[in-house]
Amino acid sequence: MFLKDLFLPKFCLGCGFLGAYICLKCQKKLSYVRRDNCVYCGKPSLYGLTHYGCKRNRGIEGMICVFYYNNFLKKIIKSIKYRLATEVFRELCLIIEPEKLSKISVLKELKKGDFQLQPIPLHTGRLRIRGFNQAKLVADFFNRFLNLSVIDHLKRSKNTRPQAQIKKDKDRLTNIRGAFSTHAHILVGQNIILVDDVITTGSTVKEAARSLKKAGAKSVFVLALARG
Ligand SMILES: [Zn+2]
Ligand SMILES: [Zn+2]
């Protein structure tokens, strides 16, 4: 955060209203995901758990997304990426209805062992340009409710093209293939919750999960702020 930001008035990212980044009226534009889906087939599933028949070798056990990635949230996330990240997040954190996150604690009940939060990492080159990793901010944000440890055992070893710029699912998969590497020995037997800001096709989290499982992770779940 820059010093000059302290003296700038706040404007609503949705409507320009003075005094808040997300005004009371615009809070209603945030749309909570009511029904969770299986990350592989996209069909509804309880708590976002991967259907038995959809399970993959080195795959994801379940996925929970909090909001739909609508136009308003798009504006918020854009601002998170490019400016005032922590300020906007603080407001989003105050707005979110705690019971909407209760399904996350279901994960804690499901697995006997402890979970650790692993944000989807940025390549160091991109991290240097942007100055922060938005997935790490999302992880810290969720962790106010979850109280787990946020780890940094996954590295982005390949600087890939942004997935959002790629249209075909197949090309997204090729783009992200082999993008991650791990600190292997630390991950053996661990339950990991991968955290990202927005999930669209899920190819990034699927590849990250593959890398974590290869390194010995016991289970991998996905938690995202929004679903595209
Ligand atoms: Zn507004
Ligand atoms: Zn399925």
Summarize pLDDT for 22-71 with one digit per residue, the tens.
898 998 999 989 899 999 999 999 989 999 999 999 999 999 999 999 98
Sheet with strand 191-199: strands edge to edge: 62-68, 219-227, 191-199, 115-119, 149-150
Q: What is the pLDDT of residue 114?
A: 84
pLDDT at 4 over 60: no
38 C-alpha to ligand 2 centroid (Å): 5
Whether residue 2 is predicted with pLDDT greater than 60 in this model: the reply is no
- Write the CATH number of the domain with boundaries 33-67+101-227: 3.40.50
Identify the nearest ligand to the CA of 20 by its number: 1
Token pair for 76 = 């918020």
pLDDT at residue 134, rounded to an integer:
84
Per domain, the residue ranges of the chain are 33-67+101-227
Lowest mean pLDDT among 74-78, 81-85, 173-177: 81-85
Strand blocks (E) in the chain:
62-68, 115-119, 149-150, 154-156, 180-182, 191-199, 219-227
Q: Which two tokens stand for residue 31?
A: 């749309």
Query: pLDDT-derived band of residue 96, with 50, 70 and 90 as boundaries?
Result: confident
For ion ligand 2, residues whose CB falls within 5 Å? 38, 40-41, 51, 54
The more confidently predicted of residues 169 and 199 is 199
Cα-to-centroid distance, 171 and ligand 1 (Å): 37
Rounded mean pLDDT, 72-78: 84
State the distance from the centre of ligand 1 to the C-alpha of 69, rounded, in angstroms: 17
The pLDDT assigned to 163 comes to 79
- Taking 3-state DSSP, the helix, strand and coil percentages for the chain, each rounded to the nearest 5, stand at 45, 20, 40
Question: What mean pLDDT is predicted for residues 141-169?
Answer: 85
State in Å, rounded, how far the first CA of the chain is from the last one.
Answer: 28
Q: What pLDDT, on a 0 to 100 scale, did the predictor assign at position 50?
A: 96
Report which of residues 146 and 59 the model is more confident about: 59
**Distance, CA of 133 to CA of 47 (rounded, Å):** 27
CA pair distance 193, 223, nearest whole angstrom: 7
